Amino acid sequence: MKYLESLDLVHRDLAARNCVIDKTFTVKISDHAMYCDRYEGDYYISDTKVKLPIRWMSWESLLLGKQTTKSDVWAFAVTLWEILMICSQQPYAELTSEQVVENCNHWYQNDGCQRYLPRPASCPREIYDLMGECWKRNVADRPRFSEIHLFLQRKNLGYIPGPT
């Protein structure tokens, strides 16, 4: 995502379902899930028949159609949440699609009623704080992928994955 950001390219569907991990733990980002029946439940079909990953979308993407690398930063935090939940549940699983849209309206109105995804049990406080930074209402207040990358590199110093 840091690379895509450097090219000012917006992914628009960052989610665990679109991540492929190779033997060296390198993550490749794709967009294949939109075309797989298996992931049909992760998309909302709009009135215009467009498939939208509303549970991963920032409020400004869903409500205003503004898609930027900063809306991808929002989706990154949702994806990180998914991973830390071991992909055991959909984001905002307790909400209907209509309630997810209503939650985005609370973000838009900045009325203090917006819901955040809860901190996963296995999630260190500083990682959840990073997720919170990615979910800032004001786009300009969200970190860039280059900053997220640097933060995660520092958190990962000295870690070497074991054999698979």
Q: Which of 8, 13, 129, 141 is catalytic?
A: 13
Q: So what's the pLDDT on residue 157?
A: 80
pLDDT for 156 equals 85
Write phi, then psi, for 45 (nearest 5 degrees). Answer: -95, 115
Q: How many CA atoms lie within 13 A of 141 on its CB side?
A: 8
66's tokens: 């503004």
Mean pLDDT by 10 residues, the chain (164 residues): 97 97 91 91 92 97 97 98 96 97 97 97 96 98 97 85 67
Give CA separation, 81 vs 15, 48, 118, in Å: 10, 30, 9
Residue 164: the pLDDT is 57
Does the domain made of 2-155 have the CATH classification 3.40.309.10? no
Instruction: Count CB-CB contacts under 10 A for residue 104.
Output: 20
Residue 13 bears catalytic tag = yes
Where do we find the tokens 């033997």? 23
Place of tokens 């298996």: 38
Per-domain boundaries in the chain: 2-155
